[in-house]
């Protein structure tokens, strides 16, 4: 088999996958962390896969190229959700569970701040009493 | 095998690259492959947490952050490693690549923090004798 052509095709398809990941990562502000992680991981792995002949001396096979082509097809066919930025259900503010977590976090932080100021006042009083 | 194999990821990458290339080329490509992947990871994390931008802006940001960290990692790592004799530069490659790419366009903030620290240090040093 002609390896040069295969490597070029492999690199091109992985580059397209990574490019789609970069475009979507640019719209990720305020999106669930696991959705961010999907695309960060996919970007890194597509780079590793595309450069694998140079980096790890692993040669692409026809089947692996078909697999990456199918990943590219999945991303392309998923594009309608990303026409106007990130999809609505992926936003943190629209997710009730994340809202609850954020509220609890804020409350806990206020409580901690209160406790710390109390502790500081106590230490001041004790040190002045001496 | 008498010698213990090195678990340093840079060394492992060098050995893996040596399977394909000559040893001299592998010594360069092996470390840089891991630096490249780490830089891509850091740039992607920063890109995901940045305010939303258009396609070309995010693409250029990504390319710039990756290239900057690719270029700056090795010099900064060797600078850091020269602080102590027991420190080796290659242990700093991957963390530094991620950190540099994640910092990317906010390097001025970090520079400001450092300048403020120096200012505070000098002020405290100057006020050491005086009573408040």
Of the pLDDT bands very low, low, confident and very high (cuts 50, 70, 90), residue B20 is low
- For chain A, the domain total comes to 2
- Are A18 and A26 spatial neighbours (Cβ–Cβ below 8 Å)? no
Together in a domain, A105 and A84: no
- pLDDT tens digits, B86-106: 888 778 888 999 999 999 888
Interface probe, candidates B19, B40, B56, chain A, greatest A C-beta count within 10 A:
B40
Of the pLDDT bands very low, low, confident and very high (cuts 50, 70, 90), residue A22 is very high
CA B38 to CA B99: how far, in whole Å?
9
Together in a domain, A83 and A115: no
Any idea what the Cα angle at residue B106 is, between residues B105 and B111, rounded to 5°? 125
Domain spans, chain B: 9-105
pLDDT at position B89 is 79
A25 lies within 8 A of chain B by CB: yes
pLDDT at position B1 is 47
Determine which helix (DSSP H) or strand (DSSP E) holds A38, and give its type and residue range: helix A33-50
ipTM score over 0.85, yes or no: no
Together in a domain, A104 and A49: no
Residue of B nearest to A57 (CA): B20
Full domain range(s) for residue A118: 95-130
Together in a domain, A87 and A111: no
Together in a domain, A71 and A110: no
Together in a domain, A37 and A54: yes
A 88-127: CB under 8 A from B: none
Counting beta carbons within 10 angstroms of the beta carbon of residue A12, is it exposed (0 to 12), middle (13 to 18) or buried (19 or more)? middle
A47 lies within 8 A of chain B by CB: yes
**Total beta-carbon pairs less than 8 A apart between chain A and chain B:** 78
């Amino acid at each position: 088999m002609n390896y040069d052509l295969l490597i070029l095709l492999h690199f091109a398809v992985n580059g397209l996958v990574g490019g789609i990941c970069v475009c979507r990562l640019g719209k990720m502000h305020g999106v669930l962390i696991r959705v961010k992680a999907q695309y960060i991981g996919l970007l890194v792995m597509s780079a590793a896969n595309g450069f694998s002949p140079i980096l790890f001396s692993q040669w692409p096979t026809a089947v692996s190229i078909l697999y990456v082509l199918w990943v590219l097809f999945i991303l392309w066919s998923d594009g309608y959700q990303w026409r106007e930025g990130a999809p609505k259900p992926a936003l943190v503010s629209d997710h009730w569970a994340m809202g609850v977590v954020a509220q609890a976090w804020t409350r806990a932080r206020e409580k901690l701040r209160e406790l710390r100021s109390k502790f500081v006042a106590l230490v001041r009083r004790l040190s002045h009493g001496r | 095998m008498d010698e213990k194999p090195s678990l340093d990821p840079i060394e492992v990458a060098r050995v893996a690259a040596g399977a394909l290339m000559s040893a001299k080329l592998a010594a360069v490509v092996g470390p840089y492959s891991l630096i490249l992947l780490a830089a891509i990871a850091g740039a992607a994390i920063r890109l995901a947490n940045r305010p939303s931008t258009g396609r070309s802006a995010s693409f250029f940001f990504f390319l710039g952050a990756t290239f900057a960290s690719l270029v700056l990692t090795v010099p900064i790592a060797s600078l850091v490693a020269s602080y102590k004799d027991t420190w080796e530069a290659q242990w700093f490659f991957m963390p530094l690549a991620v950190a540099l790419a994640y910092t990317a366009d906010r390097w001025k903030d970090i520079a400001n923090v450092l300048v403020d620290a120096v200012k505070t240090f000098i002020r405290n040093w100057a006020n050491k004798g005086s009573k408040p």
